[in-house]
Chain A
Amino acid sequence: MDMIDNDTETLVYSRPNSLTDVSTHYCPGCTHGIAHRLIAEVIDEMNIREKMIGVASVGCSVFAYNYFNFDFVQAPHGRAPAMATGVKRVLPEKVVMTYQGDGDMASIGMAEIVHAATRGENITVFFINNTNYGMTGGQMAPTTLPGQKTTSSQNGRDVETQGYPIRAAELLSQLDGSSYVVRRSLNDPKNIRLAKKAIRMAFEVQLRGLGFSMIEFLSICPTNWGMSASASMTWLENNMIPYYPLGDYKVHPAVAEIKI
């Protein structure tokens, strides 16, 4: 790493300390990396790395514990909110986050996430929505768009037989226990900046003991979508954002007072 020349140059950006010095196994262009980076940047800025405990899920993000430079546990498929509930109740002074994909949280883990939210557990959930099961080869997930082709819906998702996608942010926002539920996208620099602000807000909510916070990140899966990374970003913008509108779905009045 180059040294900073303080006399002539300003360091604009460098890799956050909350990421380990490990190259990820994610495919080129995967927005898991952007989400990891934003979370690590916010943890660095808030100086809470020593208080963090993460709960990794099952899916591509299963190896998150190798990439974040703080304590991590690994939950069974979909059970990260249940495990985070236990961790947070035993160690209430810690900041507990889960990092889950759509196949993990919106499918097998739907019971855990709904009940963790309705109990108002003081945890933060990061939900990566890339409309398929990335790790196992791009099968149809609960979030797959109508008509979208995946390896297990080869003629496109047929809503007659396979139902409609689940909008997790809207669903969890209906529960009285949730305090901060928003949806952000990772498709361009502007939306990435907004996503980072939301991460900051979610950690502030937890630090103030205001209850359950969840951020849904619209993400890409270039390999399983069969597109380049930049084409995937365009596909996200044109197809996912209309179906999954960005916005703040639940902001508790006490949360709305937080200024960051």
Chain B
Amino acid sequence: MPPKGRIVVNEAYCKGCELCVGACPQNVLGLAADHITAKGYHPATLISEGCTGCGICGIICPEAAITIYREKTGVVRATS
């Protein structure tokens, strides 16, 4: 099982440049078509399952807008 991760995009910074979309090795990033940020850009977002929390989007992001988390292995997530 590949590790599971998730990202949180801070929409105050994201300018929709799509560099993370092109760099994502799992191809799970895209621009949110349904809303825009205060600056008028479609922000980056996870568009499908499969994020591994590898961190490459954080490396390429020019705005430091992405916070990346990876699930610890062997831990069962509480379902509350």
Binding site for B on A (CB under 8 A): 1-2, 4-5, 7-16, 19, 23-24, 26-34, 36-37, 40, 188-189, 192-193, 222, 228-230, 233
Q: Which residues of B contact A24 (CB under 8 A)?
A: 13, 63
Q: Find out whether the CB atom of B60 lies under 8 angstroms from the CB atom of A13.
A: no
Q: Which residues of B contact A30 (CB under 8 A)?
A: 62
Q: Find out whether the CB atom of A29 lies under 8 angstroms from the CB atom of B77.
A: no
Q: Find out whether the CB atom of B59 lies under 8 angstroms from the CB atom of A19.
A: no
Q: Which of B35-80 contact A (CB under 8 A)?
A: 39, 41, 53-56, 58-72, 75, 77-78
Partner among B10, B15, B39, B65 whose Cβ is within 8 Å of the Cβ of A29: B15
Q: Find out whether the CB atom of B64 lies under 8 angstroms from the CB atom of A12.
A: no
17 cross-chain CB contacts under 8 A:
A5-B69, A10-B71, A12-B55, A12-B58, A14-B67, A23-B13, A23-B63, A28-B15, A29-B62, A33-B62, A34-B62, A36-B64, A189-B56, A192-B60, A222-B17, A228-B18, A233-B19
Mostly, the B contact residues are loop
Binding site for A on B (CB under 8 A): 5, 8, 10, 12-13, 15-19, 22-23, 39, 41, 53-56, 58-72, 75, 77-78
